[in-house]
Structure 1
Amino acid sequence: NWQFSKWLWLPALRWFGIMKVSIFRHISIISGTGVGGGSLVYANTLPVPKEAFFQTGSWRGLADWQTELRPYYELALRMLGAKRNPRFFDNDLALQQLARELD
């Protein structure tokens, strides 16, 4: 959608969208603008938690949540058309390396 005024927040131009772009010397940041109780913008991320997540917290003893929820994660991924990115660029590789270091 090339109607930037519909999704960018630039009040000086009378654009009142939900995405704000902050440009600095060495980085540009895209962030959401708004008030609400849920996600304002779908960011195309569909993470499936690792096993450790299901074994943590007060819910861990209530059921085998990884097994219970697996069909629903698979359904959501299928319905949303999730695919692995076939092409990686330098910024993708840097983010992947950071994720490995944080894991």
Structure 2
Amino acid sequence: MLDNPWSLNLLLIAAGMVTTVPLLLFTAAAMRLPLSTLGFFQYLGPTMMFLLAVMLYGEPMGSDKLITFAFIWSALALFILDALHTQRKRRRVQVTSHQIQHGAK
């Protein structure tokens, strides 16, 4: 590191800070978000990269990439279906408990 020019050393230090700041912001946001929301956002990253690569940069699409993203999108669909199922179940329980407390109409 002492043999490198100062400009390169400063660039390496800046690269470390540029990498650290988004990770700290992600950590702060992750502590405030429900895990289900955070999990959903984890699926968005690869999909956005895929769309950028194919549509903006003209990346060729092979069958290997399509299979990989089919797995990602299938997992996302399962995640959404499970979240919807859980949400409906909670609503049914809330309605039932409300009816029990206030008398069925």
Which category describes the TM-score, using the shorter chain as reference length?
under 0.3
Q: Give the structure, 1 or 2, with the largest relative contact order (CA under 8 Å, sep 6 or more).
A: 2
- If each structure's helix is expressed as a fraction of its own residues, which one has the higher value? 2
Query: Bigger radius of gyration, 1 or 2?
Result: 2
TM-score normalised according to structure 2 size:
0.26
- If each structure's strand is expressed as a fraction of its own residues, which one has the higher value? 1
